[in-house]
Structure 1
Amino acid sequence: MSDTSNTQDVSDQLGTYLPYLRRFARAMTGSQSSGDSFAAAALEAILIDRSVLEGVDVKTGLFRALYRIWSSAGAPVDEGESGLKARAQRHMSKLTDNSREALLLHTLEGFTFDKIAEIIGIDQGEAEELVEIARREISDAVSGSVMIIEDEAIIAMDLENIISDMGHRVTGVARTREEAVSLGKADKPDLILADIQLADNSSGIDAVNDLMEALGDRPVIFITAFPERLLTGEKHEPAFLISKPYAEDQVISAVSQAMFFSSTETLKS
């Protein structure tokens, strides 16, 4: 294969993985704008110097480039943060170094422990330990009420069981935009877990935005079978996004971290 073909292959892979790098960066920072800035810096670093990818596959190298930039910057906090984001940053400062990043890499992005070790620059045993530390520290830190917006009964029941087993209270399950707004106003949730497409063809995104307007800002996790449709960079995007079909571990991680972080940026229609 020619050098030109190799270059094109790497470029194609970078394009494929970029939306997921942005998802990880947004979940790590709790902010679309900050996350996208880190993701853009990582991509730029690789385009300037491909040696960043040496010894690893393209996806691992891309995430490693992001992590190096993130860690070298000291995980900076924007000046002037207030409210939910300021509280989130205070929470984050109490976590063991690298533990939250390791947990996100494992549960949100599906990296194995050996790949996490390559990304962070530690050994595999340390990677496993960091994930367990993060789970323990985050789950012990917060509990609250969760509202589920999901029109598929089996999935809604499964999510309800997972969330209840975590020690959170489920305020109820809504199948439509109208039901969601009514339920949210009747019992204000600390967190909203929402599907995108609802029973009456209404939008879970619209339902969440209605709730934000009525209840104020609160963490949101979107669940969809087509995450790439929401990771375009062309509009406001969710900080927490789970792909269908999901694993229980992904839900547990996202709920714990969204509760912990207490910050989200919602989609605008």
Structure 2
Amino acid sequence: MTLSDLIAPHLPYLRRHARALTGAQSSGDAYAAATLEAILAEPSCFDAATMGGKAALFSVFHAIWTGSGELQAEPDAGPATRAKALERLSSLTSGSREALLLNTVEGFSIEDVAAIMKINIDEAATLVGTARSEMHEGMQGRVMIIEDEAIIAMDLEGICAMMGHSVTGIARTRSAAVSLGKAEKPDLILADIQLADNSSGIDAVNDLLQEMPEVPVIFITAFPERLLTGERPEPTFLIAKPYDSDQVISAVSQAMFFASTETLNN
């Protein structure tokens, strides 16, 4: 099996992870590209034989991420956005967000998180717990849900309510989503890709972002790898179906933390 064969299946998920950490497509993809360059320059740093392909890839990324001093606010963000992001980041325990994302969104066990971050298991567990409390503090807001499956919509509504957010409403089609968003401006949008009338959740979100470009968006899809190809603008925050509540909680916290998003065009 070639190096490419070992890395390729996991690359979309590394790009998702990098974007969630940085809060933007451009900076996240730059970190992912730097990870690949590091492996090409020194293949021995990619220890797939011991860790498995995905964990080995994320471990190389972690070394680059921590070696660069972690996140600096997105360069193309305005001064107020940069200052806000840096203020929030300075208040968080170092490594806690990364540990939380690895565990909840990427599905690594605490043991895997510890191996990727090169810390002991107790430290990894503590970081995940710390992140849960730090990320959720002061992050309550108004969430709009775009989802055509009633059970999933109700589940997402329940998760958001449990986190202390209020739900402005649930829309099942593109037109309903646009109407709801304009009537009740949200602080965050949770959006499925395929809607009830075969309209696109992506189109609905892009319509709304023309009016409210600062609102963060989390896309939900059964096929995240189809949206993380690097061939066009893509979502910063993305969770896969079937999801669990921890994935939604983590993604919502991250998205509201940065309070910014990028569009995903058809």
- Under TM normalisation by the shorter chain, which class is it? over 0.9
**Cα distance, 1:158 vs. partner?**
0.7
Equivalents in 2 of 1:235, 1:37: separation in Å? 15
Match of 2:98 among 101, 104, 118: 101
Equivalents in 2 of 1:81, 1:212: separation in Å? 16
Question: Aligned to 2:168, what secondary structure does the other structure show?
Answer: strand
The count of residues paired between Structure 1 and Structure 2 equals 262
Is the contact made by 1:85 and 1:262 (CA closer than 8 Å) also made in structure 2?
no
Report the AA paired with residue 17 of structure 1. Answer: H
> 1:59 corresponds to which residue?
54
> 2:18 corresponds to which residue?
25
Equivalents in 2 of 1:202, 1:32: separation in Å? 25
| Residues 220 and 81 of structure 1: CA distance in aligned 2, closer, same or farther (over 3 Å) | same
Answer with 187-196 or 214-223: which moved more: 214-223
Could you give the per-residue CA deviations for residues 96-115 of structure 1, whole angstroms, max 9, x where no partner exists?
A: 00000000111110011111
Match of 2:148 among 151, 167, 172: 151
1:30-109 superposed matches below 5 A: 30-54=23-47, 55-77=50-72, 78-79=74-75, 81-82=77-78, 83-109=80-106
> 2:215 corresponds to which residue?
218
**Cα distance, 1:216 vs. partner?**
2.8
**Cα distance, 1:80 vs. partner?**
5.8
> 1:172 corresponds to which residue?
169
Equivalents in 1 of 2:28, 2:248: separation in Å? 21
Report the AA paired with residue 123 of structure 1. Answer: N
> 2:180 corresponds to which residue?
183
Is the contact made by 2:21 and 2:71 (CA closer than 8 Å) also made in structure 1?
no
Equivalents in 2 of 1:166, 1:76: separation in Å? 25
TM-score, normalising length: structure 1: 0.94
Is the contact made by 2:214 and 2:259 (CA closer than 8 Å) also made in structure 1?
no
2:199 aligned with 1:202? yes
Could you give the per-residue CA deviations for residues 155-193 of structure 1, whole angstroms, max 9, x where no partner exists?
A: 101111111111100000000000001000111000000
Answer with 74-83 or 26-35: which moved more: 74-83
Equivalents in 2 of 1:171, 1:32: separation in Å? 27
Is the contact made by 1:85 and 1:263 (CA closer than 8 Å) also made in structure 2?
no
**Cα distance, 1:46 vs. partner?**
1.1
**Cα distance, 1:118 vs. partner?**
1.1
Question: Aligned to 2:170, what secondary structure does the other structure show?
Answer: strand
Answer with 259-268 or 51-60: which moved more: 51-60
> 2:134 corresponds to which residue?
137
Equivalents in 2 of 1:88, 1:63: separation in Å? 24
Is the contact made by 1:42 and 1:65 (CA closer than 8 Å) also made in structure 2?
yes
Report the AA paired with residue 114 of structure 1. Answer: E
TM-score, normalising length: structure 2: 0.95
Identity %: 61
Report the AA paired with residue 97 of structure 2. Answer: R
Match of 1:245 among 227, 230, 242: 242
**Cα distance, 1:263 vs. partner?**
1.7
> Unmatched 5+ residue regions in structure 2?
none
Is the contact made by 2:22 and 2:71 (CA closer than 8 Å) also made in structure 1?
no
Question: Aligned to 1:207, what secondary structure does the other structure show?
Answer: helix
Is the contact made by 1:141 and 1:260 (CA closer than 8 Å) also made in structure 2?
no
> 2:6 corresponds to which residue?
13
Report the AA paired with residue 118 of structure 1. Answer: A
Answer with 215-224 or 87-96: which moved more: 87-96
Equivalents in 1 of 2:28, 2:7: separation in Å? 17
Report the AA paired with residue 56 of structure 2. Answer: G
> Unmatched 5+ residue regions in structure 1?
1-5
